[in-house]
Amino acid sequence: MNCPAVRDLLAEHALGALPARDTDAIDRHVAWCAACRKEASELHTAAAILAFSVAPAEPGPDPDLEDRVVHAVQRSVQRRPVQHVAPSRGRLAVAAVVAAMLAVSGLGWGAVMAGRAARSDEAAQAQTDAAENAAVRFRHLLETVEGADPEGDVYLATLAPAAEGGGGGSALTLVSPSIRDMAVVLVNGVPSAERKGAPFTARLRGPRGLHLTVGTIRSLDASGSGIVVRDFDRDLGEFHTVIVRDASGNIVMRGTISSGAPIASPTP
Amino acid sequence: MEGLLAGNDDAIRTLYARFGRPVYSLGLRLLGTRESAEELTQDVFLTAWRKAARFDPGRGRLSTWLMTIAHNLAVDRLRRETGVSRPTLVLVDEVPDAPGLDEEAVLMERDAAMRALETLTEAERRLVSRAYFRGLTAREISEADGIPLGTVKTRLRSAMIKVRKANEGKDLL
């Protein structure tokens, strides 16, 4: 989506009246386009003014709500302390840079080998190797990208093909205290017959059935590979399932993002 | 914000005292029930805690940030519950109260908001309300009113900019 197309929709975006598909596209655009981001910010301020125009509810909320809010936040602090790091400038083109670097990084190679392995134990070992290596590679990549945050926790999913499908893939989420969270979904070795199912849409599934679209892989390269990267202005810590669907909505691959301890954390 | 990040009791209560009621009121208007509005309020403050480190006061006001979170969460919730790709918001009253000084308005934010809305014509207020509070897209408004789509988009945008400009330089929002 280019700037004129985005600006055409920014007012509706600020008003929350766009379909999810358009909202995602605009979020991706304003993440790197400073001019559109400025206008989006102005319009969101106007939308907030509309919010404050609502008459105070009578009666107000239950008096216990304040305590519930305080306790809910404090429980979350105890479960997962957030490190306070000043917002990073120059972070906005990170996703595009990381995407380009990942495309040549070999990330996901283990999943390809798993798909080609003759024996199940070989496949399992290849998947394990991929799990151990991919997050480390990702962190190394982040350390080289200006504006990226290597201080976040990296969680990994190995994507397995649907019952009769082939290929494999990897997915990463970076849950960061200081920059926008990021998700990377990479598919590899998709058989040629299945490549006709493009475009492929990668989504994250979270609590209460909430879905987030990471992006659409329009087509795969000659080796059946494709990648999509997106940063999010929301916490990805609760999104644990990755699903890749073809153009008909059929599940092509899926995987579960490691929950609990991250696979790769910053070195103290 | 540092207090919120650390889970400091006073910091959370201070934030709640200032924004709890507006968030709850917006939630009640959009979601229609006290229970949903209270759940939304709790979710808004939890989300604010999760994102607090990313809040950059140089790029926007705290009030805008919080109310955007509240509106987005309410829209997300409605989308999940209705399974549609755009919000179908509960209509409590279609247009904000008539502009003017409301003697009973106790929140300064609301007073500032109402003054900003005073700059809109009745048609403009109605237009932005249908989008913000009812989730109608420009296309749907265009079809319902028999007005060209481009005209609706232009009017929406100019009305929003008018509201923004009316509030420029104010310290409240």
Provide the pLDDT for residue A93.
Answer: 46
- Beta strand pairing status for A181-188 and A168-175? antiparallel
Domain that holds residue B112: 93-173
Same structural domain for residues B64 and B127? no
B35 and B107 share a domain?
no
Contact B51 A235 (CB under 8 A): yes
Task: Give percent of chain B with pLDDT exceeding 90.
Answer: 27
Query: pLDDT of A120-170, one tens digit each?
Result: 666 556 555 555 555 565 556 566 554 555 566 777 777 888 766 677 777
Q: What is the pLDDT of residue B171?
A: 46
Taking contacts as CB-CB distances below 8 angstroms, the residues of chain B near A210 are 76, 80
Contact residues for A17 (Cβ-Cβ < 8 A; gap 6+): B86, B87, B131, B132, B135, B136, B137, B138
Task: Encode pLDDT of A58-114 as tens digits.
Answer: 888 999 999 999 998 888 887 665 444 333 433 334 554 555 445 444 444 444 445
| Same domain assignment for residues B72 and B155 | no
The alpha-carbon gap from B123 to the nearest alpha carbon of chain A, in Å, equals 15
Q: What is the ipTM of this complex?
A: 0.80
Judge: B75–A43 Cβ closer than 8 Å, yes or no. no
Nearest to B66 by CA among B40, B42, B48: B48
Q: Which helix (H) or strand (E) holds B90?
A: none
Within 104-143 of B, beta carbons closer than 8 Å to A belong to: 105-107, 109-110, 112-114, 116-117, 128-129, 131-133, 135-138
pLDDT attached to residue A68: 93
Domain boundary among B66, B88, B110: B88
The reply to whether the predicted model has a pTM over 0.95 is no
Q: Which of B22, B53, B88 is the last residue of a domain?
A: B88
**Locus of tokens 């989730």:** B135
- The fraction of chain B above a pLDDT of 70, given in percent, is 76
Exposure pattern of B71-88 as b/e (b: 16+ CB <10 Å)? bbbbbbbbbeeeeeebbe
pLDDT digits (tens, 9 = 90+) for B135-147: 778 888 899 999 9
Does residue B76 belong to the interface with chain A, where contact is any CB pair within 8 Å? Answer: yes
Distance between B30 CA and the closest CA of chain A, angstroms:
10
Q: Are B39 and B120 in the same domain?
A: no
Tokens linked to B169: 């330089």
Q: Do B170 and B101 reside in the same domain of the chain?
A: yes
pLDDT score for B79: 65
Q: In this predicted structure, what is the pLDDT of residue B106?
A: 42
Given a cut of 90, is residue B88 above it in pLDDT? no
What phi-psi label fits residue B148: left (phi over 0), alpha (psi between -120 and 50 degrees) or beta?
beta
For chain A, the distance separating the N- and C-terminal CA atoms, rounded to the nearest angstrom, is 41
Q: What interhelical angle do B9-31 and A34-52 show, nearest 10? A: 80
Do B71 and B98 reside in the same domain of the chain? no
